[in-house]
Amino acid sequence: MAYLTDRKRVSGLGSAHGGTAQHWTMTVTSVALLILTPFFLGIIGSALGSEHADVIATLGKPVPALIVAAYLVVGAHHLRYGMQTLLEDYTHGLTKKVSIIATTIICYGLAAGGLVALMQIAL
């Protein structure tokens, strides 16, 4: 009888040999988004309808800026893995490869654009 953990038993199994890592990444980012979303909505919700100076003052503080930045990065990472899973399941061949590359560029490009915008506001 082998004394292996559940994770060790499934690591490397399946046709892609990487489903466990992708599943754990999606699980961790889901939990992180579950925690970050109420804070993000509270910050952005309070800024909606406010004057420009008030929004800059709110996002100029370190904690709200850090929460918004973390939400952007974790959300883009989660989106990227979710789209990759979808594309792997429903596309094939060269279309799959090009779609995954394009989706990765778009997701991280959106995160980078959001972080640049946030830095311009916060600094």
Mean pLDDT of the chain, nearest integer: 89
Could you tell me the residue ranges of all domains in the chain?
18-122
**pLDDT tens across 6-58, in order?**
666 666 555 556 667 888 999 999 999 999 999 999 999 999 999 999 999 99
Q: What is the pTM of this model?
A: 0.81
**What's the rounded Cα separation, in Å, for the pair 120 and 65?**
11
CATH label, 18-122, candidates 1.10.10.60, 2.40.110.10, 3.30.450.90, 1.20.1300.10: 1.20.1300.10
